[in-house]
Amino acid sequence: MSATGTVSEPSLGMDSFDSFEDTLRRLREAFKAGQTRPVEFRVAQLQGLGHFLGANKQLLQDALAEDLGKSPFESDISEIILCQNEVDLAIKSLQTWMKDEPVATNLLTKLSSAFIRKEPFGLVIIIAPWNYPLNLMIMPLVGAIAAGNCVLLKPSEISKNTEKLAELLPQYLDQSCFAVVLGGPEETGQLLEHKFDYIFFTGSPRVGKIVMAAAAKHLTPITLELGGKNPCYVDDSCDPQTVANRVAWFRYFNAGQTCVAPDYILCSQEMQERLLPALQSAILRFYGDDPKTSPNLGRIINQKHFKRLQGLLGCGRVAIGGQSEESERYIAPTVLVDVQETDPVMQEEIFGPILPLLTVKNLEEAIDFINRREKPLALYAFSNNSRVNQVLDCTSSGGFGGNDGFLYLTLSAMPLGGI
Amino acid sequence: MERQVQRLRQAFRSGRSRPLRFRQQQLEGLCRMVQEREKDIVEALAADLSKSALNAYSHEIISILGEIDFMLRNLSDLASAKPAKKNLLTMMDEVYVQPEPLGVVLIIGAWNYPFVLTMQPLVGAIAAGNAVIVKPSELSENTAKLLAKLLPQYVDQDLYAVINGGVEETTELLKQRFDHILYTGNTAVGKIVMEAAAKHLTPVTLELGGKSPCYIDKDCDLDVACRRITWGKYMNCGQTCIAPDYVLCEASLQDQIVQKIKETVKDFYGENIKASPDYERIINLRHFKRIHSLLEGQKIAFGGETDEATCYIEEIFGPILPIVPVKNVDEAINFINDREKPLALYVFSRNNKLIKRMIDETSSGGVTGNDVIMHFTVNSLPFGGVGSSGMGAYHGKYSFDTFSHQRPCLLKSLKGESVNKLRYPPNSQSKVSWAKFFLLKQFKKEKLQLLLLMFVGVVTAVVVKVNQSSVVVTKAKWPRKPKLLQEFADFWSKSLKL
């Protein structure tokens, strides 16, 4: 799908902030002219997205490897395949999604037709993060395109290599309706001074507040996908190895840089003693004797985060792992014990391959601990009995996984969001 | 104020507001309040807006009773977990979305329909299981005082509270942390509310306003159209967020429209409109003066009489209806699209295609075709704005959803660990092919596919452990290869490298 741009556009369809106002105006005019409305147009754009993913698969894998040390397996299953799936789903379902939804009428309106009409908002801006730089840019983009909007994409400047590939995107889309803008926090702040009809932001709660405050000035509706410390409760009734396999996999995937990864474990003292060797065994099996040489373990995105995580290694006591290597931004799959609630590792979202284990006396104490803190994006509970349901009933979180990790994300029939 | 919010939060944390039976009791309490104290409510509305008893009942009280009735009838359905479509990997698991209460909700009401605009959201918030603080508008003083007096007598005092006050108290209230804020009012304050909410990342529903256009096509029954527009425009003395704000029509229609509206106004309110018990008043002097000044320099087709002493105004926003002539429908559409998105759009025409075209080519919170206001009364329709007319929606199911968190849940069992080996490192390309298959196929509950799944599950476990020859033997036993099985065959030959 080749792009159709006007003569004044830079050839890659990528704009620097100098012609930024022009870009916004161009996109708004295209929307006003009704370009993005016809279903054929939307399908064509989605197909263009599909081509982008297919034609650049190798390049994308390479970029993700450069940015985050992601193995082709991780890139495929957590980014490329999921995006392709979303594109396919949208193309298949578009007609149904776009249909007017008839509703029940009351006696007074029985002779009328009442329905809900789905309409695009207009100009949407999608601000993507660096940890799943492709997924968290393309997934919302699919939705925005399917709904008939014009979209401005702001990929993360921190995942530099993926950012470069994002610049190719407009070539596969109609450039009068879609554009990519590059820049850091300062440029993004300037961007947000302008009016958008919808803002989709994925990132930290701290920046989320800034985005929402900026949106408030224009009364722009927003979706904020933020983060939190996702608790993982492990009941005594479980088989430690099964639990360890699942928790370890989800914790160390993408070197722990996943917003829905289990952030810390809550379990009894006895369970902790059984879990530790099981975790050791799982880590050994997944990453071998020397995880640094395993092609399956990712790397920390940049120096700033590496140093932050290195600092956290001093909390409590290192039971497993604990090694780090600055030149590679490598941190070993680590498990910490004897961690206090007041330790730095429990004050912020870890976002790295470090798993603290905290002991609680019983389920009630665990639930209390969880409810004392901010609502997390995800909550996990492992149990062989109905305890899982108890945790579910007494807590609140964006999403919930019983006896597993964030597999629920792969179900496109379920909403993904926080609270 | 912080203490009050804390108290409600503690009450919410205790879990008392969650059981459906409790929510039903509270809603029934509200219903009793409306029915038993109808006289008091009507009196307050009369004092605030000179609303007649009949108008108060049909504009405000009926809506509440309808909403409470809806919630009571549908509560268990609304609050139940909704199963979601699974993929192959989660076939044996429980997959559903669970609606949950958000916590402590703040509802800020408006003065134009002071009762319904605080109570209707309250009904939704209670039904969804939240604790609620209601902040009625201080401009409609009597209703505000009445709500503060009545609510504690009919619903749980630890979970639901009324806080009254002006700008200062509201600002203080907005500094506190809530789990959702629903605000009805004007755009300027809407921005202030959202900014305050941003500090706590509190989601908001903003029901704002805007100039709701009303296009009258030349092909329509002008009598009926003008009658309906007159009704919608002058009810509550024009102080309705979804009143038709201005009319767009072809110049040739203008005189007829004015004439018909004039006649209808006489029909509704009599010769001496000021004496009509059905005609309301402007809320206060400040608004009266503001609206009065809008009349200056305008060509008044009819009306325009004012009486400052009783805040009586005829035909000004409120009750001012500007008629803007346009050449044709295209110009009307452009006129509308050049302005901010309104809360409502009205189109009068016998030509359905024209109505559909106006809907297709413009945007607004909601639409009523060939009438005004009525989409508000259908509680299966979400009521809300877009752009500067607001964000979010409520009424009926949409109230329930607005005040709930839809929480996706995936419950697996600790068994079946061998299938998980697919995803654990060390990785390989064959594992990707497996993953692709398992993740991407969605299933309907058909016996054949279920059987296929069990077959796959068993064989996968076996394949991981046994040697090549058994796999080859199993493969040869298949009589034919439908597409799905062909894919299995492909994966299996790749999986030999597992």
Q: Residue B198 and residue A216: Cβ atoms within 8 Å?
A: yes
Q: How far apart are the first and last CA of chain A?
A: 38
Residue B374 with chain A: CB contacts under 8 Å: 108-109, 112
CA A256 vs CA A42, A300, A305, B228, B421: distances in Å: 36, 9, 12, 62, 20
Asked if residues A186 and A156 have their Cβ atoms less than 8 Å apart, the reply is no
Q: Residue B411 and residue A34: Cβ atoms within 8 Å?
A: no
pTM: 0.85
Name the residue of chain B whose CA is nearest to A245's CA.
Answer: B424
**Which residues make Cβ contacts (< 8 Å) with residue B35, sequence separation at least 6?**
B65
Q: Strand A178-181 to strand A150-154: parallel, antiparallel, or no bridges (unpaired)?
A: parallel
User: What's the pLDDT at B488?
Assistant: 52
Asked if residues B328 and B250 have their Cβ atoms less than 8 Å apart, the reply is yes
What does residue A379 show for φ and ψ, rounded to 5 degrees?
-140, 135
User: What's the pLDDT at B439?
Assistant: 62
Which residue bears the tokens 């958008």? Answer: A196
**Which residues make Cβ contacts (< 8 Å) with residue B352, sequence separation at least 6?**
none
**Tokens representing residue B229 in the block:** 């527009």
Rounded to whole angstroms, the Cα distance separating A192 from B407 reads 30
User: What's the pLDDT at A342?
Assistant: 93
DSSP symbol at A413: T
Confirm or reject contact between B419 and chain A (CB < 8 A): no
Confirm or reject contact between B224 and chain A (CB < 8 A): no
Query: Tens-digit pLDDT profile for chain B (498 aa)?
Result: 899 999 999 999 999 999 999 999 999 999 999 999 999 999 999 999 888 888 888 889 999 999 999 999 999 999 999 999 887 777 888 899 999 999 999 999 999 899 999 999 999 999 999 999 999 999 999 999 999 999 999 999 999 999 999 999 999 999 999 999 999 998 889 999 999 999 999 999 999 987 889 999 999 999 999 999 999 988 888 888 888 988 999 999 999 999 999 899 899 988 888 888 888 877 888 888 888 777 777 676 777 665 554 444 333 446 778 888 899 999 999 999 988 899 999 999 999 999 999 999 999 999 999 999 888 888 889 999 999 899 999 999 999 999 999 999 988 888 877 767 767 877 666 677 766 666 665 444 445 556 666 766 666 666 555 544 443 333 333 344 445 545 555 555 454 443
Of A82, A245, A400, the CB nearest to B409: A400
Of A239, A285, A411, the CB nearest to B90: A411
Q: Between vectors from CA A251 to CA A250 and to CA A255, what angle results, nearest 5°?
A: 110
Of A109, A215, A216, the CB nearest to B378: A109
Torsion sign across C-alpha atoms A170, A176, A177, A181:
positive
Which residue bears the tokens 């799905």? Answer: B484
Q: Which helix (H) or strand (E) holds A142?
A: helix A135-146
Rounded to whole angstroms, the Cα distance separating B122 from B107 reads 7
Length of chain A counted residue by residue? 419
Asked if residues B210 and B342 have their Cβ atoms less than 8 Å apart, the reply is yes
Asked if residues A309 and A85 have their Cβ atoms less than 8 Å apart, the reply is no
Confirm or reject contact between B476 and chain A (CB < 8 A): no
The alpha-carbon gap from B228 to the nearest alpha carbon of chain A, in Å, equals 14
User: What's the pLDDT at B474?
Assistant: 37
Of A209, A411, A415, the CB nearest to B95: A411
Neighbours of A92 (CB within 10 A): 12
Asked if residues B391 and B385 have their Cβ atoms less than 8 Å apart, the reply is yes
Q: List pLDDT tens digits, range B363-386.
A: 999 999 999 988 888 888 999 999
Rounded to whole angstroms, the Cα distance separating B139 from A325 reads 65
Rounded to whole angstroms, the Cα distance separating A289 from B69 reads 65
Asked if residues B288 and B282 have their Cβ atoms less than 8 Å apart, the reply is yes
Q: Residue B417 and residue A242: Cβ atoms within 8 Å?
A: yes
Strand, coil or helix: what is A115? strand
**Which residues make Cβ contacts (< 8 Å) with residue A72, sequence separation at least 6?**
A61, A65, B427, B429, B432
Q: Residue B387 and residue A197: Cβ atoms within 8 Å?
A: yes
DSSP symbol at A192: T
Rounded to whole angstroms, the Cα distance separating B388 from B425 reads 51
Q: Residue A416 and residue B427: Cβ atoms within 8 Å?
A: no
Confirm or reject contact between B195 and chain A (CB < 8 A): yes
DSSP symbol at A376: P
Length of chain B counted residue by residue? 498
Q: Residue B374 and residue A108: Cβ atoms within 8 Å?
A: yes
Q: Residue A81 and residue B432: Cβ atoms within 8 Å?
A: yes
Name the residue of chain B whose CA is nearest to A398's CA.
Answer: B407
Query: Tens-digit pLDDT profile for chain A (419 aa)?
Result: 344 434 443 434 444 555 788 999 999 999 999 999 999 999 999 999 999 999 999 999 999 999 999 999 889 888 999 899 999 999 999 999 999 999 887 777 777 788 999 999 999 999 999 999 999 999 999 999 999 999 999 999 999 999 999 999 999 999 999 999 999 999 999 999 999 999 999 999 999 999 999 999 999 999 999 988 999 999 998 899 999 999 999 999 999 999 999 999 999 999 999 999 999 999 999 999 999 999 889 999 999 999 999 999 999 999 999 999 999 999 999 999 999 999 999 999 999 999 999 999 999 999 999 999 999 999 999 988 887 788 888 899 988 888 887 777 777 778 788 88
Rounded to whole angstroms, the Cα distance separating A24 from A125 reads 10
**Tokens representing residue A339 in the block:** 């961690």
B426 cis-preceded (ω within 30 degrees of 0): yes
Residues pairing with A201 in the sheet:
A127, A224
Name the residue of chain A whose CA is nearest to B437's CA.
Answer: A81
Rounded to whole angstroms, the Cα distance separating B8 from B1 reads 11
- Return residues 325-364 of B near A (CB < 8 Å): 337, 359-361, 363
The alpha-carbon gap from B239 to the nearest alpha carbon of chain A, in Å, equals 23
Q: Of A171, A218, A226, A157, which Cα lies nearest the Cα of A193? A: A218
Interface pTM, i.e. ipTM: 0.84
User: What's the pLDDT at B241?
Assistant: 87
User: What's the pLDDT at A185?
Assistant: 93
Strand, coil or helix: what is A66? helix
Rounded to whole angstroms, the Cα distance separating A52 from A173 reads 9
Q: How far apart are the first and last CA of chain B?
A: 63
The alpha-carbon gap from B49 to the nearest alpha carbon of chain A, in Å, equals 26
Confirm or reject contact between B412 and chain A (CB < 8 A): yes
User: What's the pLDDT at B301?
Assistant: 73
User: What's the pLDDT at B440?
Assistant: 61
Give a three-class secondary structure readout of chain B: CHHHHHHHHHHHHCCCCCCHHHHHHHHHHHHHHHHHCHHHHHHHHHHHHCCCHHHHHHHHHHHHHHHHHHHHHHHHHHHCCEECCCEHHHCCCEEEEEEEECCEEEEECCCCCCCHHHHHHHHHHHHCCCEEEEECCCCCHHHHHHHHHHHHHHCCCCCEEECCCCHHHHHHHHHCCCCEEEEECCHHHHHHHHHHHHHHCCCEEEECCCCCEEEECCCCCHHHHHHHHHHHHHHHHHCCCCCCCEEEEEHHHHHHHHHHHHHHHHHHHCCCHHHCCCCCCCCCHHHHHHHHHHHCCCCCCCCCCEEHHHCEECCCCCCCCCEEEECCHHHHHHHHHCCCCCCEEEEECCCHHHHHHHHHHCCCCEEEECCCCHHHHCCCCCEECCHHHEECEECCHHHHHHCEEEEEEEECCCCCHHHHCCCCCCCCHHHHHHHHHHHHCECCCCHHHHHHHHHHHHHHHHHHHCCHHHHHHHHHCCCCCCHHHHHHHHHHHHHCCC
**Tokens representing residue A116 in the block:** 């809900």
Confirm or reject contact between B100 and chain A (CB < 8 A): yes
Number of Cβ pairs < 8 A linking chain A and chain B: 206
The alpha-carbon gap from A11 to the nearest alpha carbon of chain B, in Å, equals 32
DSSP symbol at A110: T
The CA dihedral of B357, B361, B367, B369, to the nearest 10 degrees, is -20
Please list the active-site residues of B.
207, 241
What Rg value do the Cα atoms of chain A yield, rounded? 23
Name the residue of chain A whose CA is nearest to B100's CA.
Answer: A396
Please list the active-site residues of A.
225, 259
Q: Residue B426 and residue A109: Cβ atoms within 8 Å?
A: no
Helices A81-98 and A135-146 sit at what angle, rounded to 10 degrees? Answer: 20
Q: Of A164, A235, A216, which Cα lies nearest the Cα of A14? A: A164
